[in-house]
Structure 1
């Protein structure tokens, strides 16, 4: 099963990152999470530090473009197979960096992909 890192995770149940973690867990994906505050959603710990997780298949972004800059090197160190730019997180600068490092990316919504079985 694809191991996913939700980057920009929030403990606020009204945030899409929170809902994404819930849905990923419901669909039996292994989930890791990094956010501004520590917490736990459905048994998934949210870390404040840029913890290096092994075997990340997908990074699902829930950070606006200006807040992604500090995570560029972190994402590259994780060496995921793909990065999902959820609505509102589009960033052509990061897309170029990913392309140069042979990391696939999609402008797509994690929640929609899960709901249509295309995750």
Structure 2
């Protein structure tokens, strides 16, 4: 099973949900892959400037960016062909959702942290 999870909007700020997700994913045996064009690493993990720069297959993309930014990334998401995209609260983008659905990518409107905590990830 592919356990690669791209975290779009990854940050080192421990008060942010993206950072909490990174550590929770890691503690549960997943391979979190930070994505942020402004960072080289996030908490010691190599960070990629875009989804297209990730050299390995991605199973899940979890979004932690504003809806407008999520929409702008639709082509990148489709290009990496994840099994699913999780739009965390505050990231819902109809543009991204439509692009995913047209390309057979599952879309979840959910909180990654809750999915992990409840065994639904």
Question: How many residues align structurally?
Answer: 118
Aligned pairs for 1:6-17 (under 5 A) are 6-17=7-18
State the alpha-carbon separation in 2 of the partners of residues 110 and 16 from structure 1.
Answer: 9
Structure 1: 4+ residue segments shifted above 6 A:
none
Q: Could you tell me which runs of 5 or more consecutive residues in structure 2 were left unpaired when the two chains were aligned.
A: none
Aligned twin of 2:31: 30
Q: Does 1:99 align with 2:101?
A: yes
Aligned counterparts of 2:48 and 2:56: Cα–Cα separation in 1: 15
What is the aligned-residue RMSD (CA, Å)?
Answer: 1.4
Following the alignment from structure 1 to structure 2, what is the Cα–Cα distance between the partners of residues 19 and 45? 17
> Corresponding residue for 1:48?
49
| Equivalent position of 1:85 in the other structure | 87
Structure 1 unaligned regions, length at least 5: none
In the TM superposition, residue 21 of structure 1 has moved relative to its aligned partner by 0.1
Please list the CA deviations of residues 6-61 of structure 1 after superposition, one character each: whole Å capped at 9, or x if unmatched: 011111111110110010001010111111421222x4222234413322110000
Query: Normalization by structure 1: what TM-score?
Result: 0.90
